């Protein structure tokens, strides 16, 4: 798979403004897939660092006041420099501060948005959110909202679930790979946002980049689950698979329509 080879050959620098619960796992996932992580989230530093990053992740999991200022600073620089960035609207809808921030960031035209069905529906104004970070809607429920959100932002929207749904508003892609163990470890979705940013850094067609990132991530999870005995061993095996899975394996094992 050419996109995976590009990430490993160019080691894109991914600027992660992500939540405090998942920084270690997110950094390790990026390193495993071949990218370089940086967690620069202080106001006054986030903007200058964004100017040298190859891609940016904005994850709203723990949006403290200074963190929110840093996110807005980084996004403004990203737009000035044309740097691709990913919005992960964690737990929006039911929590007012992050929901207001997500609405503001949505207006800054993210290159890609990824989340579960309830988060995507809430961000599109079609629902009130889920149960914390857990979705209370199905991927099928969120498809119309995802297409609407893609049209309004000009970006690609990915809805995670048993079958992932990815759309640019006009073209839809369904991916059937993955494993339930991803929902049993901290950061399973958050790290996907970072890997998506890494793939956006190496390809100028966002729909293909987002799809490629999801294919690599979910197939690595599937392969890791075959070797794991539970969530703990899965996490270790998953990082190993991200580091060693080949492009040929991705092509052979992808369930895509």
Note the pLDDT tens digit of each residue in 166-204. 999 999 999 999 999 999 999 999 999 999 999 999 999
Q: Model pTM?
A: 0.95
User: Per the annotation, where are the binding residues for substrate?
Assistant: 39, 187
Residue 135 in this model has a pLDDT that exceeds 70:
no
Give me the residue label for tokens 């997500």: 102
pLDDT at 211: 98
Residue 127 in this model has a pLDDT that exceeds 70:
no
pLDDT at 136: 65
Residue 142 in this model has a pLDDT that exceeds 70:
yes
* Contact present, 51 and 81 (Cβ < 8 Å): yes
pLDDT at 93: 86
Domain of residue 38 covers 2-253
Report which of 79, 100, 78, 80 is spatially closest to residue 89, judged by C-alpha positions.
100
pLDDT at 170: 97
Domains of the chain: total: 1
pLDDT tens figures, 41-87: 999 999 999 999 999 999 999 999 999 999 999 999 999 999 999 99
pLDDT tens figures, 4-33: 999 999 999 999 999 999 999 999 999 999
pLDDT at 1: 73
Residue 131 in this model has a pLDDT that exceeds 80:
no
The enclosing domain of 141 has a CATH number of: 3.40.1190.20
* Mean pLDDT score, 103-128: 91
pLDDT at 138: 86
* Contact present, 253 and 177 (Cβ < 8 Å): yes
User: Per the annotation, where are the binding residues for ATP?
Assistant: 114, 160
Residue 164 in this model has a pLDDT that exceeds 60:
yes
The end-to-end CA distance of the chain, in Å, is: 17
Rounded mean pLDDT of the chain? 94
Q: For residue 128, name the pLDDT band (cuts at 50, 70, 90).
A: low
pLDDT at 130: 52
Pairing between strand 36-38 and 112-116? unpaired
pLDDT at 129: 59
pLDDT at 61: 93
Q: Is residue 232 packed enough to be buried (19+ CB in 10 Å), middle (13-18) or exposed (0-12)?
A: exposed
Residue 154 in this model has a pLDDT that exceeds 80:
yes
* Contact present, 170 and 148 (Cβ < 8 Å): no
User: Per the annotation, where are the binding residues?
Assistant: 39, 114, 160, 187
């Amino acid at each position: 798979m050419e996109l995976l080879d590009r990430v490993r050959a160019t080691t894109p620098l991914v600027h992660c403004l992500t939540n405090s619960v998942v920084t270690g796992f997110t950094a390790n996932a990026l390193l495993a897939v071949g990218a370089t992580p940086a967690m620069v989230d202080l106001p006054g530093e986030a903007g200058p660092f964004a100017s040298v990053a190859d891609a940016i992740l904005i994850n709203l999991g723990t949006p403290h006041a200074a963190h929110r200022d840093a996110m807005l600073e980084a996004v403004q620089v990203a737009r000035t420099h044309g740097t691709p960035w990913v919005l992960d609207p964690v737990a929006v809808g039911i929590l007012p501060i992050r929901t207001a921030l997500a609405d503001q960031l949505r207006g800054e035209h993210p290159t890609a948005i990824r989340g579960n069905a309830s988060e995507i529906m809430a961000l599109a104004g079609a629902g009130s959110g889920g149960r914390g970070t857990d979705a209370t809607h199905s991927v099928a429920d969120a498809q119309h909202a995802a297409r609407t959100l893609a049209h309004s932002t000009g970006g690609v929207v990915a809805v995670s679930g048993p079958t992932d749904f990815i759309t640019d508003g006009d073209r839809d892609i369904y991916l059937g790979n993955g494993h339930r163990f991803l929902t049993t470890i901290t950061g399973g979705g958050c790290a996907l946002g970072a890997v998506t940013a890494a793939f956006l850094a190496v390809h100028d067609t966002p729909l293909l980049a987002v799809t490629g990132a999801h294919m690599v991530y979910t197939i690595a999870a599937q392969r890791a689950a075959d070797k794991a005995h539970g969530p703990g061993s899965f996490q270790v095996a998953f990082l190993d698979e991200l580091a060693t899975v080949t492009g040929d394996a991705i092509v052979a094992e992808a369930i895509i329509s």
